[in-house]
Amino acid sequence: MISLGKPASLREKPSWGAFALAGVVAVVFYLGPIAYLLAVALQSPAQFLNNPVSFPRPLMWSNFTSAWSQATMGTYFSNSVLYTFFSTVLSLLFAALLAFPVSRRYVRGSQVIYLLFLAGMFLPVGLVPLFIESRMLDLYNNRIGYIVLHLQYGLTFGFFIFVGYFRTIPVELDESAAMDGCGYFHYIWRILIPLVKPVLATVGIYVAINVWNDLIGPVVFLASNQLFPLTRGLYTFYGSNQSDWTLLAAGVFIVAAPLIIAFVLLQRYLVAGAVAGSLKS
């Protein structure tokens, strides 16, 4: 009789060599570019022109304050916060209200609606049709229009995640709430929303990152300097004749800092929501 040996246990500790290799790959391909960008942000313009890959000496922390003042980032920052907040909140609200009846098949053609939203995740954003639509609906070059045009980020991805999570909640909970006289919107707001906090964090982070980092949208849909977000302010340091790469690198870190902080605070919800939303989808 041929013995196949004992099956390998999943609980066996992996070798430290695999961990070391994974760490090196992570540092080279992910942390390496970030470290280099930080080094450029702390260099003087003369040092960057002479040797852009050298260690900054001295450390030019004043580049961050100069980038903030020269690009008038105070106005751009408030605009980015406004756009990101309302786009995220409205996307979460509409995605949840649309996903719940579809997940329960309370409306006709629920499967067709689900497939249409799922297909929307794989289709490119049509900037030209959106631009024409924004002009026709008077949504061009105003804050409300810019927020409305960015709801697309949450209505596709958010709808898909919410449907998957709502399907994990027993239907008996709906029936019990209906027997107790609980209204439809009251049931969603008081019972379902507290149960989907991980999904809210997941979709919220996804929408916020896309809105905050949007570089093409401000160029296409906004024309006034007073309406530009932070990403549009980075163009201040880049021109056809001269570019200040050290201030541009500092500006990139200023733009990325709020998202990094938000991700650190919400990362456990992000992972939990992504796993839960993929179940029964």
Instruction: Give residue limits of the domains in the chain.
Output: 78-233
Neighbours of 173 (CB within 10 A): 13
pLDDT tens digits for range 112-121: 888 888 777 7
User: What type of residue sits at position 104?
Assistant: R
Alpha carbon distance 199, 181 (integer Å) = 27
Backbone angles phi, psi at 108, to 5 degrees: -70, 145
Q: Is the dihedral of CA 43, 47, 49, 51 positive or negative?
A: negative
Q: Is the dihedral of CA 140, 144, 146, 151 positive or negative?
A: negative
**Which pLDDT value is given to residue 281?**
46
User: 253-264 burial, b if ≥16 CB within 10 A, otherwise e?
Assistant: bbbbebeeebee
Residue with tokens 């029964």: 280
pLDDT above 90 for 90:
yes
Q: Are 87 and 154 in contact (CB under 8 A)?
A: yes
pLDDT category at 30 given cuts 50, 70, 90 is confident
Radius of gyration of the chain (CA): 24
pLDDT above 60 for 252:
yes
- Average pLDDT over all residues of the chain: 81
Query: What kind of architecture, by CATH, is found in domain 78-233?
Result: Orthogonal Bundle (1.10)
Residues in the chain, total? 281
Q: What is the pTM of this model?
A: 0.79
User: What mean pLDDT comes out for the span 243-270?
Assistant: 81
**Which pLDDT value is given to residue 280?**
45
Query: C-alpha angle 98/103/108, rounded to 5°?
Result: 75
Q: Is 248 left (phi over 0), alpha (psi -120 to 50) or beta?
A: alpha
- The residue among 152 and 44 whose pLDDT is bigger is 44
Residue with tokens 């896309």: 210
